[in-house]
């Protein structure tokens, strides 16, 4: 069954908008809470302040925890020594402190607390975003071991979703379900599955939908007696198979392969 593979620009735009409107300010506020929260308490009537070791411990622990989470997120594509994430979190806290000091010098005298808090949160959030981008680029440029992805290698008899090359133009691919016939170094040989009616043709056989295609619910046919199509492993679109080829169909395909 062919499917569209166009990227949704609207979806990417919405994700970027959510990042700017919600994620950055939220992360930034948590990183800036030792500065923003006492400032908020001082604006109350009557003015309030933090009291006791416990309250100060919580307020200053929040940015430490958030910095550790940001460092883990930034470092998740590479392995490294155990001290790497805490060291990066400490570096992020230093950068955030510098950004807050600079921002406080610009808006610290503004009479409205919301303006001051928003500026501080955005400054800290932008620093966190720049930190993630810089760390990932640094890790990519230095190479080294990547975190192993939990991706299952296709195996004969499995049904996968992949970008399958066209017979008339192998340089072009369409999104199709397929049956893996054989596996090799770097690529697999597959038989394409289609929902187009191939009844009465000798080069396709009916293929029951035993729950592996829950989207269409339509009848399927799979190529039979034709040369397999070659699909590189990087063109498989899922991390695991959709299901197993029905046993009667697989027996016929296996006999055809010899």
Helix (H) or strand (E) holding 204: strand 204-207
Domains of the chain with CATH codes: 9-142 (no CATH), 158-257 (2.30.30)
Which two tokens mark 221? Answer: 């046919």
Task: Quote the percentage of the chain above a pLDDT of 70.
Answer: 86
- The number of residues in the chain equals 258
Task: Quote the percentage of the chain above a pLDDT of 90.
Answer: 49
* Residue 213 backbone zone (phi > 0: left; psi -120 to 50: alpha; other: beta): beta
CA distances from 40 to 34, 90, 115 (A): 11, 26, 11
Summarised one tens digit per residue, pLDDT across range 42-84 is 888 888 888 889 999 999 999 999 999 999 988 876 667 889 9
The arithmetic mean of pLDDT across residues 13-18, rounded, is: 61
Give yes or no for residue 4 having a pLDDT over 50: no
The arithmetic mean of pLDDT across residues 149-167, rounded, is: 87
Give yes or no for residue 36 having a pLDDT over 90: no
Longest dimension (CA), the chain: 87
> What does the pLDDT read at residue 82?
84
Summarised one tens digit per residue, pLDDT across range 215-231 is 777 889 999 989 999 99
Summarised one tens digit per residue, pLDDT across range 74-121 is 887 666 788 999 999 999 999 999 999 999 888 878 878 888 888 999
pLDDT band at 3 (very low <50, low <70, confident <90, very high): very low
Instruction: Please state, in angstroms and rounded to a whole number, the distance separating the CA atoms of residues 132 and 92.
Output: 10
Helix (H) or strand (E) holding 221: strand 220-223
Instruction: Please state, in angstroms and rounded to a whole number, the distance separating the CA atoms of residues 27 and 124.
Output: 8
Which of the two residues, 7 and 155, has the higher pLDDT score? Answer: 155
- Cis ω for the linkage preceding 46 (within 30 of 0): yes
Question: What global pTM score does this model have?
Answer: 0.52
> What does the pLDDT read at residue 12?
55
Q: Give CA 154 to chain center in angstroms.
A: 21
Give yes or no for residue 33 having a pLDDT over 60: yes
How many C-beta atoms surround the C-beta of residue 110 within 10 A? 11
């Amino acid at each position: 069954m062919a499917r569209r593979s166009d990227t949704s620009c609207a979806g990417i735009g919405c994700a970027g908008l959510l990042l700017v409107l919600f994620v950055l300010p939220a992360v930034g506020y948590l990183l800036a809470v030792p500065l923003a929260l006492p400032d908020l308490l001082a604006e109350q009537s009557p003015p309030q302040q933090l009291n006791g070791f416990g309250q100060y411990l919580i307020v200053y622990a929040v940015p430490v925890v958030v910095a550790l989470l940001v460092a883990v997120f930034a470092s998740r594509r590479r392995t490294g020594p155990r001290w790497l994430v805490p060291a990066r979190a400490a570096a992020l806290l230093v950068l955030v402190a510098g950004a807050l000091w600079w921002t406080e010098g610009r808006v610290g005298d503004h009479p409205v607390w919301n303006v001051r808090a928003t500026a501080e949160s955005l400054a800290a959030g932008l620093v966190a975003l720049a930190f993630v981008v810089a760390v990932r680029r640094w890790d990519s440029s230095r190479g080294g071991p990547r975190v192993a992805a939990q991706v299952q290698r296709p195996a004969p008899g499995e049904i996968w979703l992949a970008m399958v090359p066209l017979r008339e133009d192998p340089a072009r691919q369409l999104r199709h379900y397929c049956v893996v016939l054989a596996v090799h170094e770097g690529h697999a040989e597959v038989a394409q599955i289609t929902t187009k009616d191939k009844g009465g043709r000798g080069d396709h056989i009916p293929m029951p939908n035993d729950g592996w295609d829950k989207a269409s619910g339509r009848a399927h046919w799979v190529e039979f007696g034709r040369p397999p199509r070659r699909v590189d492993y990087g063109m498989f679109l899922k991390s695991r198979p959709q299901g197993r080829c029905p046993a009667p169909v697989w027996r016929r395909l296996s006999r055809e392969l010899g």
